[in-house]
Amino acid sequence: MNEDFLMLLEEFEREKGISRDVLIEALETALVSAYKRNYGSANTVRVEINKQTGNMDVFIQKTVVDKVEDPSTQIAVKDAKKINPVYQSGDIVEEKAVPQTFGRIAAQTARQVVTQRIREAERGMIYNEYANKENDIITGIVQRVDKKNVMIDIGKTEIILSPQEQVPTEQYKRGQRLKLYVVEVQNTTKGPNILLSRTHPGLVKRLFELEVPEIQNGTVEIKSIAREAGSRTKIAVASNDSNVDPIGACVGHKGTRVQRIVEELMGEKLDIIKYSDNIVEYVAAALAPAKVIKATANEKEKACTVVVPGHQLSLAIGKEGQNARLAAKLTGCKIDILKSEGEEVLPDEA
């Protein structure tokens, strides 16, 4: 029986990744609860499991007293000295108990406590693994689509991708592999709460960081991102090396780098613009693909008025105002767009 017990511990350790010490501690706690349930909660009990042999011993702890009032928790001095002559009043004596049976309720208690401790250990392992991946990307597999929720298998657990974090234009199918952004990992009483997202701007940021070596080594820096998931994203980049073009680095040779990111985002459009400390130049670049004739800025109020050719007004504003909205979000500046019949535009490098 002890051999079976040790084999069971090894199996749990191998399959669940939970150490034998944690399992033994859980079982000792369970046996204490079971004993108290069956033989009286007033007893102070200690259970000891030998890690090498699997033998289990139950010890009842009693206080040495001159006059016994409660035999279940106390022992007379004269009886204690029979066990060991050194015992005196106030000492604690342990007596080995050999319970015949724990009973049905006690066994249920033991099983429940062991199950709970194993579940807590598993939750702790999951939390520790994914807490370090907050603000990072993980890969998951779609297990099933349940009404509006999508169940994602991320390895050791399944996480719900809520409707709010799903891209409206994306269709999720069972078995589909997805890259997901870990927004937040919380350790709750019900286990780790992992918030995954396909809509978060951080997903685009991390995809560029993983795809572009110049961003990884700090040569190129992502300054700002504005995203409307599934439709369009604007990303502002700057170079810390005058010899490196930040836009070219992100686009890659023949557009290979940015194309891989677009494919992962299932066709979402990406506008990569050059960041500038000059708010006028920055706003003009952010309104691409529209060309800006002139612009004036009120830096105190973080506002900018731009003039575009009349035939490009709709381009500057974008469908349902999207281009102007994203440009404002990207730059953090309120933008007023005016039209002009002139065709002169600011240089492309602006």
Provide the token pair at 288: 């691409």
Secondary element (H or E) of residue 58: strand 56-65
216 three-class SS: helix
What pLDDT is recorded for position 254? 93
What pLDDT is recorded for position 57? 80
- The vertex-195 CA angle with 194 and 199, nearest 5°, equals 150
What pLDDT is recorded for position 342? 53
Question: What domains can be seen in the chain, in order of their start residue?
Answer: 2-129 (3.30.1480.10), 134-197 (2.40.50.140), 200-275 (3.30.300.20), 287-350 (3.30.300.20)
What pLDDT is recorded for position 1? 47
Instruction: Give the residue-averaged pLDDT of 168-179.
Output: 93
Full strand arrangement of the beta sheet holding 232-239? 220-228, 232-239, 269-274
What pLDDT is recorded for position 78? 92
255 pLDDT above the threshold of 90: yes
Whole-model pTM? Answer: 0.72
What pLDDT is recorded for position 75? 92
Q: Which of 5-9, 60-64, 131-135 has the lowest mean pLDDT?
A: 5-9
What pLDDT is recorded for position 243? 95
Instruction: Give the residue-averaged pLDDT of 19-23.
Output: 79
Q: How many CB atoms lie within 10 A of CB 178?
A: 19
142 pLDDT above the threshold of 80: yes
What digits encode the pLDDT tens for the residues 207-240?
Answer: 999 999 999 999 999 999 999 999 999 999 999 9
What pLDDT is recorded for position 42? 61
Nearest in space to 238 (alpha carbons), one of 282, 202, 203, 276 = 276
Q: How confident is the model at residue 110 (pLDDT cuts 50, 70, 90)?
A: low
260 pLDDT above the threshold of 60: yes
**343 or 263, which is more confident:** 263
CA-only gyration radius of the chain, Å: 33
What pLDDT is recorded for position 139? 95
In angstroms, rounded to a whole number, what is the distance separating the alpha carbons of residues 99 and 49?
Answer: 15
Tell me the residue ranges of DSSP E strands in 164-253: 177-188, 191-197, 220-228, 232-239
What pLDDT is recorded for position 202? 96
347 pLDDT above the threshold of 70: no
